[in-house]
Copies of this chain bind each other. A is one copy, B any other.
Amino acid sequence: MTSSTPNTTPTASPRRAAVIGLGSMGLGMALSLQRAGFTVTGCDVNEAQAAKFATAGGEITPSPAEAARDADVLVSVVLNAAQTEAILFGPEGAADALPEGAVVVSSATMAPEMARALAGRIEATGRLYLDAPISGGAARAAEGQLTILASGSAAAFAKAGPALDAMAAKLYALGDSPGTGAAFKMINQLLAGVHIAAASEAIAFAARQGLDLRKVYEVITASAGNSWMFENRMPHVLDDDYTPRSAVDIFVKDLGIVEDMARSAKFPVPIAAAALQMFLMTSATGMGRDDDASVARLYARITGTALAKQPSQPAPKT
């Protein structure tokens, strides 16, 4: 496919995409766009991540500005609002380089007010902005099977449509105001973070009582105490495998955003606050980059409780 001609009808399919941020989510999204027929240019400050996309046949550029040139849709999949602002408006930022009428699909998790502010600045320049946080993990990103929680103008939805189709199995259109998608994402993160901390507390407490943890997993996942996170994360504890699928520090960040939002709204969130402290303690003891189920390891270490049947270190040779 050739690139679309500028200024055709607003529903013409955009076929050139830029993806800024080629981490575990962004890389999968870039590959999904490529598979759907987009010409994709990627960019990441981490050269190793960028190289992975190049190896998969993608084009990489050294700056967001160069990636954005001629793009119909720019997907921003960086860590947070500050990084999103930097790749759009910082030195060699994408905003000025992006063709007029192109759309920024902004997928980093951030506070709603940040999404509204970024949307305002982008729209003031004649580009479109879709507040589009994502959910689903790296595997579903690679399969083009993400959930996207999107809000923005009808024009932004129309322009981003083919790219959203390529990346998402489920698209929630949550209204015409940027920030609404971000707000839904933060409600999800509040619950997800609390559920990981609660699952960790419960499984470690079960271990302390000498219960068979695989039986605990079987009973709880079939009972009213179940959560998506309990079911998804506790196998990491049972297998004593803390390879990061999603890291502890992600929830230090996301529950931190929840707390900031809540304090600013004078809204108490004591359960989320307690969960954040557990992620902080886990990070503080050096496990910030490990899998977020490591909160269970923190409970276990504090209390001298064994979580796994086998010791995690090899037995000494005799």
Enumerate chain A interface residues (CB-CB to B < 8 A). Answer: 112, 135-136, 147, 149, 170, 172, 174, 180, 183-184, 187-192, 194-195, 197-199, 201-202, 204-206, 208-209, 211, 215-216, 218-220, 222-230, 232, 261-262, 265-275, 277-278, 299, 302-303, 305
Contacts and interface: CB of A to CB of B under 8 A. Distances in A.
Contact of A190 (B147, B184, B202, B302): B202
A265 B202 contact: no
A180 to B, nearest CB: 7
Contacts of A225: 187-192, 195, 228-229
Dominant secondary structure of chain A at its interface with chain B: helix
Contacts of A275: 271
Contacts of A226: 191, 227-228
Nearest to A200: B271
A198 B198 contact: yes
A164 B225 CA distance: 22
Given A198-B272, A266-B303, 4 more contacts: A184-B219, A190-B205, A191-B220, A227-B228
A228 B223 contact: yes
B208 A270 contact: no
Q: Nearest 8 CB-CB pairs, A to B?
A: A191-B225, A227-B227, A188-B225, A274-B274, A194-B198, A192-B225, A226-B228, A187-B206
A270 B194 CA distance: 11
Contacts of A268: 299, 302-303
Contacts of A174: 215, 219
Contact of A188 (B147, B224, B270, B302): B224
Contacts of A227: 191, 195, 226-228
A274 B276 CA distance: 12
A205 B187 contact: yes
Given A192-B225, A219-B172, A226-B227, A265 B208 contact: yes
A187 B170 contact: no
B209 A269 contact: no
A69 to B, nearest CB: 35
A112 B209 contact: yes
B147 A222 contact: yes
Given A190-B205, A226-B191, A197 B262 contact: no
A47 B177 CA distance: 57
Contacts of A262: 205
Nearest to A189: B225
